[in-house]
């Protein structure tokens, strides 16, 4: 991949992410119904904070699974690497570190399915895996939001089909990890 298009700035990427945020969240909610069909989609997944910028070509937004979770289970991200930009979906299963430390065979099978589908282990502090797509075609597209959604949606489906977020959806969420409800 060649250098990043000169017209692309962090603010352009933030605007692009703003354009795909709601549709991505709705798609995640729809896909998670495979785990628990009787739950309202808005309870299955919710936004996790604002769209963040970490520097030039670093933009991300998070999605909490379930919606009441204070952390981020999924992130749609753009990052620079070796002079090029990449888009990807990062999956961060709740309690992943504890479950892997306990040699949880279910989580191991889910991780294996995710890796077999092309996701890469992240070298961060908590267990996470990510997809990686060159950003050049999206950034050069006449319809960048659609081009980005065409990368993200299949990745969401892959994550759900791997089963890696099943625990997050089906197991009780401990009180310290729940969002506080706003008083109305």
Q: CA-CA distance, 163 to 15, in Å (whole number)? A: 31
In a domain, 77, yes or no: yes
Q: Is 70 a member of any domain?
A: yes
Strand partners, 60: 52, 77
In this prediction, residue 4 carries a pLDDT of 40
DSSP letters along 89-113, please?
EEE--TTHHHHHHTT-HHHHHHHHH
| Nearest CA-CA partner of 28 in 42, 49, 14 | 42
Task: Output the domain CATH number for residue 19.
Answer: 3.30.1460
Whether residue 107 is contained in a domain is answered as yes
Any domain includes 1: no
Q: Across the strands, what pairs with 85?
A: 80
Neighbouring residues of 122: CB distance < 8 A, sequence distance ≥ 6 = 90, 128, 129, 130
Rounded Cα gap, residues 33 and 65, in angstroms: 12
Residue 89 forms part of a structural domain: yes
Domain count, the chain: 1
Q: What is the pLDDT of residue 9?
A: 56
Q: Would you say residue 65 lies in a domain?
A: yes
In a domain, 20, yes or no: yes
Q: State the 10-residue block means of pLDDT for the chain, 184 residues long.
A: 45 91 97 92 92 84 96 95 93 84 82 94 88 94 96 98 93 87 59
pLDDT at position 98, please? 77
Q: Specify the pTM.
A: 0.89
Q: Which domain holds residue 82?
A: 10-169
Q: Measure the CA–CA gap between 104 and 125, rounded to whole angstroms.
A: 19
Question: For 54-89, b where at least 16 C-beta lie within 10 A, e where not — what string?
Answer: eeebebbbbbbbbbebeebbbbbbbbeeeeebbbbb
In a domain, 160, yes or no: yes
């Amino acid at each position: 991949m060649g250098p990043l298009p000169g017209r692309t700035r962090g603010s352009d990427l933030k605007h692009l992410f703003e354009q795909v945020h709601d549709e991505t969240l709705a798609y995640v909610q729809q896909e998670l119904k495979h785990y628990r069909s009787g739950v309202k989609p808005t309870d299955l997944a919710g936004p996790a904070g604002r769209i963040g910028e970490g520097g030039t070509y670093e933009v991300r937004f998070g999605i909490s699974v379930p919606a009441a979770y204070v952390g981020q289970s999924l992130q749609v991200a753009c990052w620079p690497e070796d002079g090029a930009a990449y888009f990807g979906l990062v999956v961060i299963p709740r309690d992943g570190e504890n479950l892997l430390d306990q040699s949880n065979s279910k989580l191991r099978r889910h991780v294996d399915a995710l890796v077999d589908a092309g996701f890469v282990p992240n070298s961060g502090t908590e267990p996470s895996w990510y997809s990686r797509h060159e950003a050049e075609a999206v950034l050069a597209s006449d319809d960048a939001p659609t081009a980005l959604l065409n990368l993200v949606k299949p990745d969401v489906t892959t994550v759900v089909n791997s089963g890696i977020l099943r625990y997050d959806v089906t197991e009780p969420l401990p009180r310290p990890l729940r969002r506080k409800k706003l008083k109305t």
